[in-house]
Amino acid sequence: MSAELHTLAGRLNSSFPDLSPLQRLQLLVANVPGKLVFTTSLGLEDQMLTHLIFGNALPIDVVTLDTGRLFPETYSLWQETEAHYGRRIKAKYPQADALEALVDDQGIDGFYFGADMRKACCHVRKVEPLERALHGAGGWLTGLRRDQSANRESLEFVVHDERRALIKANPLFDWSRADIAAFASANNVPVNALHDRGFLSIGCAPCTRALRPGEPERAGRWWWEDETRKECGLHVDDATAASANARTTTI
C-alpha cells in the first residue's frame, strides 16, 4: 500500500498544475482510496476550498480544529458558513484531561513565555486533535499556498505522508492570495471580517496580530518568536514528504 500511495502521489502531483482547483478536488475524490478530510481554519484559502466542496457536493469531510482560543469573528464565520451552504463543519476539540494538565502546568497564557511552552499548547490544542481528525483517512486536503512563507516554498501540490499513511494535497498551492480574494469576492464566499482589519493569516486570538504595512503575510503569527520556527506543528512532516516525493518522481 505504501508503494501504491507513493506512486499515486507522484501521479497526482504531475497532473495538478494543468487543472483548476475544482478539477484537482474531483481528481482526488476519484483516485484517493478511503475517506478524504479537509482541515479548515476558516482562512481565506480554506473558505474557497469549502465553497468548492460544499457547492459541488463533493464527498469530502470539512473539519476544523477548535482550540478554544479562536477569535469571536472566526466563530461567527463558522456559523455563517454553515448557514450559507447548509452543511455542517465538523469540529475536533482538545482532550479535556490534556488541556487541564497544560493550563495547570503553564497557566492560561503560558505560550508567551517560551517556544517550548508555545509548542506544548499547539500540541494539545491543535496537533493531537488533528491526528484524531485524520484517523482512518486516505487523504488530507489543506489550503496551504506556496508563497505564504519561505518555509512553504519547497512543498508540493501532493505528497505521500508516510507517517500517517495517506495522501496530502494542497489544491491551492500555486494560487496567489490576490487571486483567491478575487474568487471569493466574485462567488460571494463568506470570509473572516478580520481580513479587512489587517489580519491576513488568522489563528488563535492571543497568537495573532494585525500586520503592519509591508510585513509578510505570516508576520502576525507568534510574532514574538524567531521567524524560522513559526509553524504550529500541523505541517512539520511536509518538507520530508516533498523531498521523498521528489526522489520517487525523478527515478
* Residue 114 falls in which region: left (phi positive, over 0), alpha (psi -120 to 50) or beta: left
Cell of residue 216, nine digits: 509578510
Largest CA distance in the chain: 51
Binding site for ligand SF4 (CB under 6 A): 67, 69, 111, 118, 121-122, 125-126, 203-204, 206-207, 232
The reply to whether 204 sits in an annotated binding site is yes
Residue 57 falls in the annotated catalytic set: no
Q: Rounded to the nearest whole angstrom, what is the least distance from the CB of residue 189 to ligand SF4 in the complex?
A: 24
Alpha carbon distances (Å) from 23 to 18, 32, 161, 168: 9, 14, 22, 16
Contact indicator for 50, 205 with CB cutoff of 8 Å: no
Distance CA 76, CA 82 (A): 10
Q: Rounded to the nearest whole angstrom, what is the least distance from the CB of residue 49 to ligand SF4 in the complex?
A: 21
C-beta of 36 vs 200, nearer to ligand SF4: 200
C-beta of 9 vs 232, nearer to ligand SF4: 232
Q: Rounded to the nearest whole angstrom, what is the least distance from the CB of residue 127 to ligand SF4 in the complex?
A: 9
The reply to whether 207 sits in an annotated binding site is yes
C-beta of 35 vs 123, nearer to ligand SF4: 123
Q: Which of 159, 232, 241, 242 is catalytic?
A: 232
What are the residue numbers of the active site?
232
Binding site members = 121-122, 204, 207
Binding site members for [4Fe-4S] cluster = 121-122, 204, 207
